[in-house]
Amino acid sequence: MFDLQNVTKVYPNQVVALSGVTLRIERGEFVFLVGASGAGKSTLVKLLYREELPTRGRLFFNGRNITGLRASQVPYLRRRVGVVFQDCKLLPHKTAQGNVAFALEVTGAGAYLIRRRVPAVLELVGLADKARAYPHELSGGEQQRVALARAIVNNPSVVIADEPTGNLDPQTAWEIVRLLGEINRRGRTVIMATHAKAIVNRMGKRVVALDRGRIFRDDENGVYDDGLL
């Protein structure tokens, strides 16, 4: 699904965020990206949904080199990639269902599709009864569920989560990650950047560890081991 070949990212201020990263993520995988702050997790994630472009190296999505993608083609890539952030990025003046519906509306979906899909994804994330609540009426965990519902409502083939549990207590965080696991079981690739050690160890999924812009470990059924960092 994603194929990074010797990818290097240098920001305009000369900070080298990634250097020579080669990584393959297969369709249907659940992958944790772990590492300390500044290790390059966020940059890697941003490359995957093409918020940033690599300085050197090549990056394929479903066999297509997306480094050379025209600006006008980017929206169509984004529709196949659902993204979730630590700060949820919900619109405060829209209800939970309004926020989810927004993602469909702006891609030109019809009213019928919106009426059918929005309640279905809210049901999936367990928020069917809070559909009409505004973000400020929801807890942090509930807000993140809305963000998750919004990320999958366009039926993307991959969900990318950048520190989605950063602001949540361990119990709530675990529920969000379990939800991501459920989304993965239903056939979507899930890539999650995090430094929540307990969660990573409990899930027992593939772990890609980054340090100073390089991959230094890539284990199936990996653990997030302090000793190696």
Partner 1 sequence: MAFFRSLGRGVLEALGGVVANSVMSLASISTVALTMLILAGFLLAAVNLDHLATVVESQIQLRVYLADGLAEEDFRQLEARIAGLPGVVSHAYVDRKEALERFRGYLADDQGLLEAVEELDALPDSFEIHVLRPDLVERVAYELKGQPGIASISYPAETVRRLIDVTNLLRLGGLAVALLLTGVAVFIIANTIRITVFARRDEITIMKLVGAADWYIRWPFLLEGTLLGMVGAGLAALAAGAGYRWLIALFFQRLPFLPLVAPEPLLGKLSLVLLVLGALVGVVGSQISVRRLLRV
Candidates 146, 156, 93, 99; CA nearest to 124 is 146
SS (H, E, C) 22-77: EEEECCCCEEEEECCCCCCHHHHHHHHCCCCCCCEEEEEECCEEHHHCCHHHHHHH
Closest separation between CB of residue 106 and partner 1, Å?
4
Cα–Cα dist 17/46, whole Å: 11
* Nearer to partner 1 (CB atom), residue 151 or residue 200: 151
* Nearer to partner 1 (CB atom), residue 50 or residue 205: 50
Q: Residue 84 to residues 66, 72, 131, 158, 228: CA-CA distances in angstroms? A: 20, 23, 19, 11, 28
Q: Which stretch binds partner 1 (CB under 8 A): 98-106, 118-126, 179-187, 209-217?
A: 98-106
Closest separation between CB of residue 52 and partner 1, Å?
12
Cα–Cα dist 182/152, whole Å: 12
Positions 8 through 27 that interact with partner 1 (CB under 8 A): none
Closest separation between CB of residue 2 and partner 1, Å?
17
Positions 118 through 177 that interact with partner 1 (CB under 8 A): 150, 154
Cα–Cα dist 62/228, whole Å: 32
Positions 186 through 205 that interact with partner 1 (CB under 8 A): none
Candidates 91, 116, 178, 185; binder of partner 1 (CB under 8 A) is 91
Closest separation between CB of residue 12 and partner 1, Å?
14
Positions 41 through 70 that interact with partner 1 (CB under 8 A): 49
Cβ-in-10-Å burial (0-12, 13-18, 19+) of 93 comes to exposed
Candidates 79, 212, 214, 217; binder of partner 1 (CB under 8 A) is 79
Query: Binding marks (x or -) toward partner 1, 102..121, rule CB under 8 A?
Result: xx-xxxxxx-----------
Decide: is 101 part of the binding site for partner 1 (CB under 8 A): no
Closest separation between CB of residue 68 and partner 1, Å?
14
Q: Which residues bind partner 1 (CB under 8 A)?
A: 49, 71-72, 74-79, 83, 89, 91, 102-103, 105-110, 150, 154
